[in-house]
Amino acid sequence: MAFSPDYRTYPRASAATTAAVLDAGLRAYMLRVYNWMASGLLLTGIVAFAIANTDLINAFYPVVMTPMGPARHASVLALISIFAPLAFVLVLSMGVNRLSHTTAQTLYWLFCAAMGASLTNIFLIYTSESIVRVFFITAATFAAMSIYGYTTKADLSRFGSFLFMGLIGIIIAGVVNIFLASSALQFAISIIGVIVFTGLTAYDTQRIKSSYVQYAYAEGTDGAAKRAVYDSLSLYLNFINLFMLLLQLLGNRNNS
């Protein structure tokens, strides 16, 4: 008797193969995103530590005599370093459709270095032990929420608008507190900020995963490389903001 294959099995095999390829591609893409984020954090840490522990610190925060005695004050260079990361983020955001992946990667590295320069003052304010401790607390919190965002079946997109409104509220309150200098308001900002950026970590992880599945076949190699940079930037910013807010809550000050 002649062999007659059951052609109904072929669509199933094709679908299973496609799903397997997509899953493998997703894991590879997420690994690329996390590698970019981790490399950026490493560069930021190296730059901040190098400036804080060399004579370069005097260029950023020179010692000035005051009625209360010698104290460090921010120089023009320090102010530039504080606002420089924002400029890089704006350039990256506005050029998302025009920049090549090489240019986007270069700007990302420059942004991470500028962020390191802007964070130099934490070594002047907080003890090194508390900085290290809070960093690992941040890393553990970030990892847990990112894993949750990647694995959960719940749709976190419904929380996006609330998290965004919370972020806007934090920014406005932070600007207001520059003039009020209220410790109570700063404490509230830190608590709410930790909640917001913890939620954003899970939200952005799920968003990155979903966008890869949606655009996996629509983008070429260059498009995927550029998208990985932008996705890593989102996670990087969540990590840095979460770290700074936790440092304000848990960090031990040098003068304490």
Q: Exposed, middle or buried by CB within 10 Å (0-12, 13-18, 19+), for 214?
A: exposed
Q: What is the pLDDT of residue 18?
A: 60
Burial class of 193 by CB neighbour count within 10 A (0 to 12, 13 to 18, 19+): buried
Query: Within a domain: residue 193?
Result: yes
In a domain, 5, yes or no: no
Cβ-count burial 4-25 (b if 16+ within 10 Å, e if not): eeeeeeeeeeeeeeeeeeeeee
Name the residue range of residue 61's domain: 16-250
- Report if residue 8 sits inside a domain: no
- Indicate whether 145 belongs to any domain: yes
Q: Is residue 255 part of a domain?
A: no
pLDDT reported for residue 219 = 57
Three-state DSSP state, 155? coil
pTM: 0.87
Q: What is the pLDDT of residue 130?
A: 95
Whether residue 1 lies inside any domain: the answer is: no
What's the Rg (C-alpha) of the chain?
22
How far is the C-alpha of 166 from the C-alpha of 207, rounded, in Å? 18
Which residues partner with 126 through β-bridges? 253
φ/ψ bin of 28: left (φ > 0), alpha (ψ from -120 to 50), beta (otherwise): alpha
* Residue 221: per-residue pLDDT: 63
Would you tell me how many other CB atoms lie within 10 Å of the CB of residue 254? Answer: 12
Among the listed residues 190, 227, 185, the one whose alpha carbon sits nearest the alpha carbon of residue 207: 227
- Residue 3, pLDDT score: 46
Residue 154 near residue 202, CB atoms below 8 Å: no
User: Is residue 3 included in any domain, yes or no?
Assistant: no
Q: Going residue by residue through the chain (256 aa), what tens digit of pLDDT does each one get?
A: 444 444 444 455 455 666 676 677 888 899 999 999 999 999 999 999 999 999 999 999 987 767 666 778 888 888 888 889 889 888 888 877 788 888 999 999 999 999 999 999 999 999 999 999 999 999 999 999 999 999 999 999 989 889 999 999 998 998 898 888 888 999 999 999 999 999 999 999 999 998 876 665 555 566 778 888 999 999 999 999 999 999 999 999 987 4
Residues 6+ apart with CB under 8 A from 37: 232, 235, 236, 239
Is 174 within a domain?
Answer: yes
Count of domains for the chain: 1
Helix H or strand E encompassing 69: strand 69-72
